[in-house]
Amino acid sequence: MDGPTVALICMLALLVILAARVPIGIALAVVSIGGIIALRGTRPAFGMLGALPFDFAASWSLSAVPMFLLMGALVYHTGLTRSLYAAARLWFNPLPGGLAVASNFASAGFAAASGSSLATAAAMGRLAIPEMLSFGYNKGLATGTIAASGTLGAFIPPSIAFVLYGWYTQQPIGTLLMAGIVPGVLTAFAYTAMIIIRCSRNPALAPKAEIVGGTREKFAALRDIWPLPLLIVCIIGSIFSGIATATEAGAVGSACALLIALFAGRLTRSNFMQSVLEAIETTASIFFIAIGAILLTRFLAMAGVPRLMSDLVESWQLGTVEVILVMIVVYLILGMFLDPIGIMLLTLPVFLPMFDALEINLIWIGVLVVKMIEVGLLTPPVGMNAFVVKNVVGSAVSLNQIFAGLLWFLVCEVVVIALLVALPGLSLWLPGLM
C-alpha cells in the first residue's frame, strides 16, 4: 500500500480507538507506531519511540508549561484571588444581572492568574454559583456564566494552549500570548452585553440582589485584590517590554506568585507541596498527549500527507475562508468528544500544510484554533466546563439546565468568531505594537 492509503487506514483506526474511550495520548502513539511499522518497519518505529520523548521534553520553549501551571496552582491553593469576586460583586451589582456580570469579570481576572479554563470554572463556581442561586437567579444563567467565562483562561496570558501551539508551529510564543488578549477581552464584554440585555428584558432571570456597600466599601474591596493586578503586570509587562521571553515569563510568574503568597502570609508548606504536585501531574498529562501528537506528525510526514493536503488545496482551489470554515466545523465536531489540548495537537498535523499552502498568518490562525478548542469545552455531550460546574453544584442543578444556559453564550461565541475571522486585526493589533 502507498503512504496516503496507510495514513487513511490509520486515521480511521484512530477514530475507532478514540470512540472506545482510550486515552488520547495512548491512541495517538499506538496508531502512529503501527503506521510507521507498516511504512518503514519495526527498527525505525521503535528507534523513533525511544528518541522523540526526550527530544520533546528537552525543548527549552516548553519549560513555560510547568512554570505557568505552577503559577496557577499557587494562585489557587494560596487563595490569592479569594477577594476578587467580593470586589466584583460590589462594583457590578447595580447592573441588570449584576452578580452574573461580576462573576464573568471575576472569572476573567482569575483566568489571567491561573491560565486554566477548568481551574477557573471550578474555583469561581464554588464562590459565585451558591450566591447567585441564593438570590433567585435562573439556574441556567448562573451555571452557564461560570462555565462559559472559565474559557477565558485560554486567552488572557498565561495560556498553555498558546505555548503548545507556538512550539508546534514554530511561532513566537510571546507574540501569541499578546494576540490572545484582545479576543479574550472581547469575549468577556460579549458575555456581559448578552447578560445585561437578557436580564433587562426579563428581570425574573436575575432578581435584584440587596448587597450593602457604598463608595468607601467598594474602594476598600479593591485594595484587597492587589496580588492579581501585580501578577498580571509582572507577566504581561515582562513579555511586552522585552525584559523576558515568553518562556522566561513563566518562571517570572511562578516566582512572583510565590513571593506574593509569602508576603501575604498565605504560603504554607502544605499548599506549596500541593501546588508543586498538581503542576507536575498536569504537565505529565499534557506532555503525554503531545508526545503522541509528535509521533503522529512524523508518521503523516512519512506517509506524504502534508504534500497531499497542499495538493488538495491547490487542485480544489480552496481559499482562506473555505479552509477556515472546514477547520471550524472539524473543531466543533471533535470538541463535543475530546480534550481541547488533544484536539489541537491531533488536528494541527493535518491543517498546518493547508495553512502553509495558502500562506495564512499563523498568529491569527492560532487565535482561531484556541478559540475553537475552548468552545469545545461548552458543547454537549462532553463539554468539560459544564461537567466541572455540575460537580460543583451537585444535585442542585441538572446537566441539562447547565447546557441550556450555555446556549446563549454559544451565540456570543458565534459572533466573536465571526469578528475574529472577518477582522484579523483584532488578533494582530497588539502583537504589532511589540
The pLDDT tens digits for 48-97 are: 888 877 877 777 777 777 888 888 788 878 877 767 777 887 888 788 98
Both 136 and 102 in one domain: the answer is: yes
Is the domain of 65 the same as that of 45?
A: no
For residue 276, being part of any structural domain is answered with no
pLDDT band per the 50, 70, 90 thresholds, residue 363: very high
Closest CA to 48 of 296, 348, 221: 296
Q: Is residue 273 in some structural domain?
A: no
272 in any annotated domain: no
Portion of the chain with pLDDT greater than 90, in percent: 18
User: How many Å is the Cα radius of gyration of the chain?
Assistant: 22
Determine the pLDDT at residue 310: 66
Q: Are residues 297 and 256 in the same domain?
A: no
Kindly indicate the confidence band of residue 248, based on its pLDDT and cuts at 50, 70 and 90: confident
Same-domain check for residues 29 and 81:
no
Mean pLDDT value across residues 329-349: 79
Neighbour tally for 326: CB within 10 Å = 13
pLDDT over threshold 70, residue 141? yes
**CB-CB contact of 279 with 69 (8 Å):** yes
142 and 243 fall within a common domain: yes
Q: Are residues 73 and 149 in the same domain?
A: yes
Residue 88 lies in a domain: yes
Q: Does 170 score more than 80 pLDDT? A: yes
Q: Report the chain's mean pLDDT, rounded to a whole number.
A: 83
Domain assignment of residue 45, yes or no? yes
Lowest mean pLDDT among 32-36, 175-179, 302-306, 370-374: 302-306
User: Is the same domain home to 391 and 361?
Assistant: yes
pLDDT at 214: 67
Whether residue 220 is predicted with pLDDT greater than 70 in this model: the reply is yes
Please compute the mean of the pLDDT values over residues 5-25 and round it to a whole number.
83
pLDDT (0 to 100) of residue 314: 66
pLDDT in tens, 234-247: 887 887 777 887 77
Q: Per-residue pLDDT for 5 more than 80?
A: yes
18 and 93 belong to one structural domain:
no
Q: If you search the block for the grid coordinates 459544564, which residue do you land on?
A: 386
- Do 123 and 183 sit in the same domain of this protein? yes
Specify the number of domains making up the chain.
2
Same-domain check for residues 346 and 358:
yes
The torsion region of residue 372 among left (phi > 0), alpha (psi -120 to 50) and beta comes to alpha
| Average pLDDT for 376-392 | 80
Comparing 296 with 204, which gets the higher pLDDT? 204
Query: Which tops the pLDDT comparison, 110 or 95?
Result: 95
Can you give the pLDDT at residue 197?
Answer: 94
Q: Which three cell numbers stand for residue 407?
A: 446556549
Q: How far apart are CA 148 and CA 57, in angstroms?
A: 32
Report if residue 283 sits inside a domain. no
Q: Is 274 contained in some domain? A: no
User: What is the residue range of 169's domain?
Assistant: 59-267+303-432
Kindly state whether residues 29 and 89 are assigned to the same domain. no
Give a yes or no: residue 282 inside a domain.
no
Q: Which three cell numbers stand for residue 403?
A: 447546557
If asked whether residues 8 and 92 sit together in one domain, one would say: no
Q: With cut-offs at 50, 70 and 90, classify the pLDDT of residue 264.
A: confident
pLDDT at residue 412, rounded to an integer: 95
pTM above 0.85, yes or no: no
**Is the confidence at residue 190, as pLDDT, over 90?**
yes
